[in-house]
Amino acid sequence: MVSFLGATGRFALEQIAAMGRLFSFLMSAIFLAFRRPAKFYLIIHHIKTIGVDSLSVVALSGFFTGMVMGFQGYYSLRKFNAESWLGSATALGLLRELGPVLSAFMVTGRTGSAMAAELGTMRATEQIDALDSMAINPIKYLVSPRIIASLLAMPLLTAIFDVIGIFGSYIVGVNLLGVSSGSFFAGMENSIVFHDVYSGFVKSISFGLIITWICCYKGFYAPPMASGVSQATTESVVLSFVLILVWDYFLTSIML
């Protein structure tokens, strides 16, 4: 009984310590992002890896998501003789919810996992220790630029996802299912307000932060061995997905 309590207490303490380390890692990265000298060339490099390199997968998934929404929306709205609201329903769903969440999932899979694997490998091959021993703060050099880059790239990727998704829905709704083009856009124009765009924008920024934070943390503190790197990569993707969905719930309830 005593040993069970001891093990439980030890486990609880370890979890609390891990959470403390996770938050202090984020605070350090944000604090160091504002310390001079600024690493503009690294920020631009990571905007390319997070943003430009994820563009094709985000565009493709946005297009097919929009087309599926076109079919499903048409099927549901037809029951109420409200097919003309297809554009409005699709745009609201994409702008407020699916755009930020799905593009965040795509970036997690495409770039977040790569971040965790890269930093994990750098840990295993002593490159992070080498930076530290050269008196170069590894968090400032490796993590802060990635965080800034993700804050800039994620809203843009989400916006592209939204636009291409609406285009996909338009093709299915108007060209395949016969919804009028005028009513598709008129419904959208009447029902979309700035708050819908704004809430999607806030979500995409916060998801960008979550992805970079979790994936960099997992890679940075990966056990220095091959299995440690693979474990860190898996954990970073799974934890990012879960946190994105949990945070999405809270943001949605606040910003509804």
Partner 1 sequence: MIQVTNLRKGFRGQQVLKGVNLEFASGKITTIVGTSGCGKTVLLRHLNALLRPDDGAVLIDGVDIAKLAQKELYEMRSKFGVLFQGAALLDSMTVYDNVAFPLREKTQSTESEIKKKVEDRLDQVGLGAMGGKFPAELSGGMKKRAGLARALIMDPEIMLFDEPTTGLDPILATSIHQLIARTHATFGFTGVLVSHTIPQVFDISDYVAMLANGVIEEVSAPKSFCASQNPVVQQFIQGKTEGPIHVL
Query: Contact residues for partner 1 (CB under 8 A)?
Result: 122, 125-127, 129-137, 141
**Smallest distance, partner 1 to C-beta of residue 31, A:** 11
In the complex, the smallest distance separating the C-beta of residue 135 from partner 1, rounded to whole angstroms, is 4
Q: Which is nearer to partner 1, 84 or 137 (CB)?
A: 137
Confirm if 205 and 151 have CB atoms less than 8 A apart.
Answer: yes
CA distances from 250 to 151, 153, 196, 256 (A): 19, 23, 16, 10
Q: Report the residue number, 95 or 142, with the smaller CB distance to partner 1.
A: 142
Classify each residue of 121-160 as buried b or exposed e, where b means 16 or more C-beta atoms within 10 Å of its C-beta.
bbbbeeebeebeeeeeebbbbbbbbbbbbbbbbbbbbbbb
In the complex with partner 1, which residue's Cβ is closer, 121 or 199? Answer: 121
The Cα–Cα gap between 190 and 84 comes to 12
Report the residue number, 131 or 202, with the smaller CB distance to partner 1: 131
80: exposed, middle or buried (Cβ count in 10 Å: 0-12, 13-18, 19+): exposed
Long-range contacts made by residues 130-137, C-beta under 8 angstroms, separation at least 24? 137/32
Q: Give 133 or 253: the residue with its C-beta nearer to partner 1.
A: 133
What minimum distance in Å lies between the beta carbon of 140 and partner 1? 10
Contacts of 248 (CB under 8 A, 6+ apart): 97, 100, 101, 203, 207
Report the nearest approach of partner 1 to the CB of residue 132 (Å).
6
Q: Residue 16 CB, nearest distance to partner 1 (Å)?
A: 19
